[in-house]
Structure formats: structure tokens, C-alpha cells
Amino acid sequence: MVWVEGVGAPAAALDRGLEFGDGLFETIAVAGARPRLLGRHLARLRAGAARLGLAVPSEPALTEELGRAAATPGAAVVKLILTRGAGGTGYGADPALATRRYVAALPARARAGDPARDGIAVATLATRLAEQPALAGLKHLNRLEQVLGRRELAGHPGAAEGLMLDVHGRLVCGTMTNVYLVIQGRLVTPSLVRAGVEGVMRAELLAGWASTGQPCEVRDVAPVELAAASEVFVSNALIGVWPVVAVDGRALAAGPVARAAQARVAAL
Amino acid sequence: MVWVEGVGAPAAALDRGLEFGDGLFETIAVAGARPRLLGRHLARLRAGAARLGLAVPSEPALTEELGRAAATPGAAVVKLILTRGAGGTGYGADPALATRRYVAALPARARAGDPARDGIAVATLATRLAEQPALAGLKHLNRLEQVLGRRELAGHPGAAEGLMLDVHGRLVCGTMTNVYLVIQGRLVTPSLVRAGVEGVMRAELLAGWASTGQPCEVRDVAPVELAAASEVFVSNALIGVWPVVAVDGRALAAGPVARAAQARVAAL
């Protein structure tokens, strides 16, 4: 047991992030001892804070803290958690609460093999994503669906990522990645207006494709379209881009669009 | 900033409850220096833990800890949070993680007036609940919808509770309560198979009504049925039962079913 608070205890240790998932997070890759794509991470954090009504921390302070964490020897990932603060136990928050932030410098995650080079197998999961437009796109702290998806994925030992559909059966994303398909030469990624997280790497890739004259269509995607795809790949801020070489047992090759995206990530 | 973890730091302070809302909670009323309805709280916790794949803590240990918290002078509420544990940063949890529990003894919440006696006004909120059968019913830590609902309720200054509909427009619950309607003499409460929390007080009330020959129908409820109701009331483990005396401005009287339920709660 962790005794967090007795009546009359001086400090309220119950954080609304722990109590209700009332907050946001960013998981930031470290490259050259600096946070990679920091501007995009901070932009997403600001946008999420505005949607949840969280006070936005001072950007210079955040930049300094995240930079300091990234400079920690051995740091490969910096994790930032922003919560509405600590105090009280009800869903309604005292507007006077001060947000709290947690910063952790973390080592690289051990991974089997070289998924960026060799690609990964993915499995379509039975665990569905609820549709909640009020929260869609945000990297908020309510992530039980992803936890359940990841638990289900453990039953697919060959698959490194699970694809998740929404309750209406549309393809949305991986448990920890965004997903892209190349269909008859056209690049497509699922719309995230009802579910899913707007990945920072996704934003970077979309901007890059738009600027190079090969825009990526953002629209509803049916899982059956996976069968028609010549390429499938996934992205997030930490892994960059991983080609998908098997979808539910159907073999695919790592293709030129994924490889070009990887080259772009390597140049960040 | 709270610096939670540096590379090589001895203890992983990132708790999956904070990171992902990966856990459950119980908010328990204290009556006579003891946790009220403890058996029902522990049963719900066990059922939730089974659905999320969390190890169930030892019941004697929990009972001892919660009893000790309830005996704290001035304690009116005991809050228990159970998380999947601390360690790692990915959605997938190491199966070897040990669950963590947090117990807090809290004073009574200050409330305006005497809502149990005088009833409350409620407002139907625009914030909708997503449908997620995998999580429906559980008192899990992913509660941003309730936080958003509560924020919206602040724009209805006369209302003490907000009624929430699911994305298909069915009435589900209040932000912090279950809801009941008496329609042509029949008692009805919304089904919680797609959204909402199965309240401990709701379970107690349903069992009581079943045993006294006035069963409560559990079914989908359309918000328009509120207009046909002769009584509306809400419940949770802390407040017991509050009659609703206004729904979106339409006046209602506190009725005999709510008063009988309050008498039952007083006898617990």
C-alpha cells in the first residue's frame, strides 16, 4: 500500500493524472542529446491542452526541462506528462489548481531484430476503439484501449504491432503507431476525427509528402483495403517508420514509399 | 517540474496508473468509522481486475488497509486506487509487474445546502459518452469524459449534476451518479453495457428493489423518457440518493421511491 493522504495531511498527493487520466503526454525521441521534433510535440501539447482546458505551461520552461532531460547521458526517450494538478477527489477540478508536469529521461527500449530494416508483421486486433470526437487525436492519459490492445497482441507472437478498428469497423491506427497504405500508387492514412492519436511523426510525414507533391489522403479506411495495398507501414515519434511485411499472415514487401519516409526521418 | 526518473535512477516512478489510466478505483463512504458497502466495493474491484487482467490484491490486506483508513479521525471518504504497477513506458506491461495500490482517507466534501433533503436540479449535457463495451461498467481510471462533462456542467450554475448520453443519444448516467426514472409506476435505470459505471449504490439499490418485489428494469433509456417520469433520482456510494427536482428546467417533486431508497441507505 502507498498511503497517499491522510485527513489533515499537508500535501494532496492525489494527482488528477493518476485519479482520472486528466492530462496529456508526449513521448519524445532523443537524437544527438536533443529532443527530436520538439516543435511538433509542443504544438500538439498546446492543442491538446486547449481542448481539455488545461493551462499551457511556459514554453521556455518546458523547452529547458525537456532539453535537460534529453541531455542526460544514455537518454533515448524523454517522456513528458502534463496533468491538471493535484487536489480534491471529484471529477470537477478547482479552476485554481496548478498543472503538474513530470519529465522522465529513459533508455532505449530493447527490441528484437531490426524492424526498421526488416519490417514487421502486424495483426488486426479484435479490441475496438470507441468513437469519441471530443478526445480523438489527443495524446491524453486515457489509454486503456491501447493497453487492452497490447494485451491481445501478446496472443499473436509473431506480430510486433496490432491494428485497431473503431466500433464501426474502420481501420484507425496501431496500438502505438499511425498506419499508412499505398493503394494503386496513392498514399492513404486513416482519418482521426473519431478515434486515434494524431502522431507527431504522422504530422511530419504528412507535411513532407504535401511539400514534395505526393500528398497523403486522410480519409476513412476500411480494413479490406489492406488487402489491396502494395505497401503498408507504420510510424511513431520513437520508431520513425517501420515497413509492414505481413498483415494477418499475408506477405508484403517493404516498398519505396516507406523507404523514402525512413530516409526523411533519418535526416531529421 | 517533477523529475520522476533519470536514466539509471534506482526506482521507476512512472506508474501505469498515471501514464495510461491503467487501473481501477473505488470511492468508499465512511460510516461509523468503517467503510460502508465494503463487500460490494471489493466485489466490483475484483470483477474489474479480472476484466483488465490485473492481479487481485489479497482481500484481508485490502480490508485491513481500508478499515484503517476509514478509522482515521475525520475521514468521510476512503479512496482506493489500484494500478497495474510502475515500470516501463509502453502500452504493453511486463507480466511480472506488481500492482500498486494507493489509499487515501479524505474529509467530507463541502456541499451547498442539503441536496438529499431538497433535491437537485440536473442538466442534460452535450458531452457524450463513447460506447466501449470492453470498459463499460468498470470504475477504471480513464475518466476524461466525466471531467469534460463536469467542466460543461460549470456552465449550468443551478445544476448539481449533469446527465450524459452516449454517442447514439441514449441516457446513460450522471457525471458521478447513476440515474433512475419512475415511469407510470415502473422503476427504470439505464443499461450500462456500452458506457457508464456500475455503481456500488446502484447494485445495492437494485438488490433491494428485487428483494422487495418492486424490481427495477435495466434497459436502454431515451432522454425523452425523462419528460414522462413522475420521479427522477440519482445515486452513488458517497451521496446515497438525491431526488431530482428539475430536469433541464422542468420541475419535478421528490417522490416516494426516492424517499424509500434514502431510508434504505440510512439503514446501511
Contact of A244 with A122, CB cutoff 8 Å: yes
User: From CA A103, how far away is CA B6, in angstroms rounded?
Assistant: 9
With CB atoms and an 8 Å threshold, state whether A141 touches B20.
yes
pLDDT at B7 over 80: no
- The per-residue pLDDT for B136 is 98
- The per-residue pLDDT for B96 is 86
User: From CA B77, how far away is CA A129, in angstroms rounded?
Assistant: 34
With CB atoms and an 8 Å threshold, state whether A2 touches B146.
no
Residue from the list B53, B135, B147 with its beta carbon closest to the beta carbon of A20? B147
Contact of B41 with B57, CB cutoff 8 Å: no
B102 Cβ neighbours under 8 A, 6+ residues apart:
A1, A2, A3, A4, A14, A18, B17, B79, B80, B81, B83
With CB atoms and an 8 Å threshold, state whether A72 touches B7.
yes
Categorize the per-residue pLDDT at B102 as very low, low, confident or very high, splitting at 50, 70 and 90.
confident
Contact of B17 with A18, CB cutoff 8 Å: yes
Query: By C-alpha distance, which of A202, A198, A196 is closest to A166?
Result: A196
- The separation between the first and the last C-alpha atoms of chain A, rounded to the nearest angstrom, is 45
User: b or e along A92-102 (b: 16 or more beta carbons within 10 Å of the residue's beta carbon)?
Assistant: bbeeebebbbb
Q: Which residue reads 468509522 in cell numbers? A: B33
User: From CA A153, how far away is CA A175, in angstroms rounded?
Assistant: 9
- The per-residue pLDDT for B13 is 61
- The per-residue pLDDT for B222 is 98
User: From CA B32, how far away is CA A162, in angstroms rounded?
Assistant: 50
With CB atoms and an 8 Å threshold, state whether B143 touches A142.
yes
Categorize the per-residue pLDDT at B2 as very low, low, confident or very high, splitting at 50, 70 and 90.
low
Which residues in chain A are contacts of B73 at CB distance < 8 A? 7
Chain B from 117 to 146: CB within 8 A of any A CB: 127-128, 130-132, 134-135, 140-146
Q: Does B198 touch chain A (CB under 8 A)?
A: no
| Helix and strand totals (H; E) in chain B | 8, 14
Q: Which residue reads 446513460 in cell numbers? A: B172
The residues of chain A scoring below 50 in pLDDT are 1, 5-12
pLDDT in tens, B199-257: 999 999 999 999 998 899 999 999 999 999 999 999 999 999 999 999 999 999 999 99
Residue from the list B21, B74, B109 with its beta carbon closest to the beta carbon of A21? B21
Q: Does B20 touch chain A (CB under 8 A)?
A: yes
Query: By C-alpha distance, which of B145, B141, B117, B142 is closest to B130?
Result: B145
- The per-residue pLDDT for B151 is 97
User: A242 to each of A1, A31, A38, B152, how far by Cα in Å?
Assistant: 41, 18, 21, 41
Kindly report the pTM of this predicted structure.
Answer: 0.95
Beta bridge partners of A164: A173
B42 Cβ neighbours under 8 A, 6+ residues apart:
B59, B62, B63
Looking at chain B, the whole-number percentage of residues with pLDDT higher than 70 is: 95
- The per-residue pLDDT for B11 is 37
- The per-residue pLDDT for B240 is 98
| Out of A133-137, B17-21, B85-89, B93-97, least confident range | B85-89
pLDDT at B12 over 50: no
**Chain B interface mutation, best of A62, A66, A144, highest count of B Cβ atoms under 10 Å:** A144
Contact of A209 with A216, CB cutoff 8 Å: yes
Q: Does B154 touch chain A (CB under 8 A)?
A: yes
Q: How many CA atoms lie within 13 A of B162 on its CB side?
A: 23
DSSP state of A230: S
User: B222 to each of A133, A181, B68, B164, how far by Cα in Å?
Assistant: 21, 40, 43, 11
Residue from the list B14, B93, B109 with its beta carbon closest to the beta carbon of A104? B14
Interstrand relation of A120-124 and A216-219 (parallel, antiparallel or unpaired): unpaired
User: From CA A236, how far away is CA A245, in angstroms rounded?
Assistant: 17
- The per-residue pLDDT for A2 is 56
Q: Does B114 touch chain A (CB under 8 A)?
A: no
Strands (E) across A13-125 are located at: 23-31, 34-35, 77-83, 100-106, 120-124
pLDDT at B141 over 90: yes
**Chain B interface mutation, best of A4, A16, A20, highest count of B Cβ atoms under 10 Å:** A20
State the burial class of residue B171 (Cβ atoms within 10 Å of its Cβ: 0-12, 13-18, 19+): buried
With CB atoms and an 8 Å threshold, state whether B146 touches A21.
no
Q: Does A55 touch chain B (CB under 8 A)?
A: no
Residue from the list A2, A77, A90 with its beta carbon closest to the beta carbon of B176? A90
**Chain A interface mutation, best of B144, B153, B166, highest count of A Cβ atoms under 10 Å:** B144
Q: Which residue reads 492514412 in cell numbers? A: A189
Looking at chain B, the whole-number percentage of residues with pLDDT higher than 90 is: 82
User: From CA A106, how far away is CA B86, in angstroms rounded?
Assistant: 14
Which residues in chain A are contacts of B21 at CB distance < 8 A? 20-21, 141-144
With CB atoms and an 8 Å threshold, state whether B91 touches A143.
yes
Give B104 to chain A, closest Cα distance, Å.
5
pLDDT in tens, B46-82: 999 999 999 988 899 899 999 999 999 999 999 999 9
Chains A and B: how many Cβ contacts under 8 Å?
218
Q: Quick count: other Cβ atoms within 10 Å of Cβ B233?
A: 29
- The per-residue pLDDT for B4 is 56
